[in-house]
Amino acid sequence: MATHDGTSRKIIHIDCDCFYASVEMRDDPSLGDRPVAVGGRPESRGVIATCNYPARSFGVRSAMAFSQALQRCPQLVLLPPRFEAYRAASKQIRAIYADYTDLIEPLSLDEAYLDVSNSPLHQGSASRIAIDIRDRIRAEVGITASVGIAANKFIAF
């Protein structure tokens, strides 16, 4: 796939790691390395929306019932979602993306494709742009992100 100037396309896929749980851990440092999950109300028959890596090490997964998650990880900290906090973090992240390209395809609050094919930044290096974005998300938003780079969005994913 070529751009209008004949060069290969450069697509970056960015996905924030355990987004809701990461925002919760950022906002409440007392959570530390404890297993954390975000979902509906813990007193109801809710399901896990997302969880952090310590919770995943116990076999806790997205879409798992709270009861099953607590059986696998009795020390799991269950938190209700705070969508305003997630939207605010997403807004910060998208502002970072906009510093690199106007060609942004959001997939969710924490995930997007960026077309940096014609970017003059970092001498046009998609790898350097992706690393810079990832580092800025960590420094400015306080959470981590994973990136993939390819000539099209299906491979970049």
- Selecting among 24, 105, 111, 140, the annotated active-site residue is 111
The answer to whether 104 and 94 have CB atoms below 8 angstroms apart is: yes
Query: What phi and psi, each to the nearest 5 degrees, are found at residue 79?
Result: -120, 140
Q: Is 43 a catalytic residue?
A: no
CA end-to-end span of the chain: 16
8 A C-beta contact, residue 60 and residue 48: yes
Structure-token pair, residue 109: 């609050």
Question: In angstroms, rounded to a whole number, what is the distance separating the alpha carbons of residues 137 and 106?
Answer: 16
Pairing relationship of beta strands 104-108 and 111-115 according to DSSP bridges: antiparallel
> Angle at CA 87, nearest 5°, toward 22 and 66?
50
In terms of residues, how long is the chain? 157
Segment holding 154, helix H or strand E: helix 153-156
Residues involved in catalysis: 111
